[in-house]
Amino acid sequence: MSETSIKKTAQNLLELADVKINGSRPWDIQVQNEDFYSKVLSGGSLALGESYIDGWWDCQELDQFFARVLGADLDKKIGLSLPVIMNYLRAKFTNRQKKNRAHIVGERHYDAGNDLFQLMLDKRMIYSCGYWKDAQSLDDAQEAKLDLICRKLKLKSGMSVLDIGCGWGGLAKYAAEKYNVKVVGLTISKEQAKLAQDLCAGLPVEIRLQDYRDVVEKFDRIVSIGMFEHVGHKNYKTYMQVANRCLEHGGLFLLHTIGSNEGALKIDPWIEKYIFPNGVVPVYKQISNAAKGIFEIRDWHDSEGLDYDQTLMAWHKNFNSGYGLIKQKYDGQFKRMWNYYLLCCAGSFRVKKNTVWQIVLSKKGPDIAYESVR
């Protein structure tokens, strides 16, 4: 295929999403390198992201670009690239999240630097979707989310809580302060653990650098926010069994996770390579099947993803407004990569390719009456 026909093919595909090459609208792309067309048509989403990091193309508002491209299902029209096929096969036939590999995402993403995340996140350092119903700011949205979770868990003074994937200890600190509960928080990130221990000092909170599979104690409540995306479908049943083992009879378990409205095991190779190694977003059936025979599902709250779109745009604003404070450590290529990550995810949630679920579970049995909280 000639260079002219390759460019024309790319142009025709983008027009299906109402995106023009070198157009004047904020979501139109500006191509700086003519090799862009052949690279992306042969390499798919991985090549699209890598060529952006390298400065081969630009876009004034990437979130709008991705909302249009993903909403038009251009990835399906291009066809499966080799990286997509390989990622699917690895996910299907290997356990990429087994215990001796669990540390990888901690080292490559969450250990990127506490200064980066302190710049981007809210004052409580919550790295998951906020709850924007009545919120006027990111701080308000994250505090509203923490409050909603605690009310769904029906916390009472003196209870013990296990927080699987505690991040920088934001929920642990909030629950200990507001509800007078004791919390054990688990993380696989050394940087998260160090800062979380500092932030929770003086409270009945223990932060552990520990894999969830190694916990043996029992707790009145279990919560997991934004960690299930790192568990992997081959480990979902084990995850539920561990949670069941650690939950007291009569207790509640709240699972907060991104969910996919697409097919199972659809893993974006750019996100896999540059942002969340070994990550995979679950679908409804995978969670319900994993819980079957172990837990009863008491409540399933679907936010439809719009709260996460707003959260990601707030993180993007914080990152860029404060970037000058960290640019000596995070160079221009990192800045392009990080903006690409935040804005492609925002576009995905905006067109409901992904959503956010809060699921309340209890051990099987007739002894629990649960009233849903919104």
CA distance 284 to 291: 11
CA distance 117 to 113: 7
Phi-psi group of 205: left, alpha or beta (phi > 0 → left; psi -120 to 50 → alpha; rest → beta): beta
Please answer whether residues 265 and 181 qualify as being in contact, where contact means their C-beta atoms are separated by less than 8 angstroms: no
CA distance 184 to 145: 20
Active-site residue, 246 included? no
**Is 42 in a helix, a strand, or coil?**
helix
CA distance 285 to 354: 15
Angle of the 306-322 helix axis to the 138-153 helix axis, nearest 10? 140
Helix (H) or strand (E) holding 269: helix 269-274
Please answer whether residues 182 and 204 qualify as being in contact, where contact means their C-beta atoms are separated by less than 8 angstroms: yes
Q: Which of 226, 255, 229 has its CA nearest to residue 240?
A: 255
Active site residues: 345
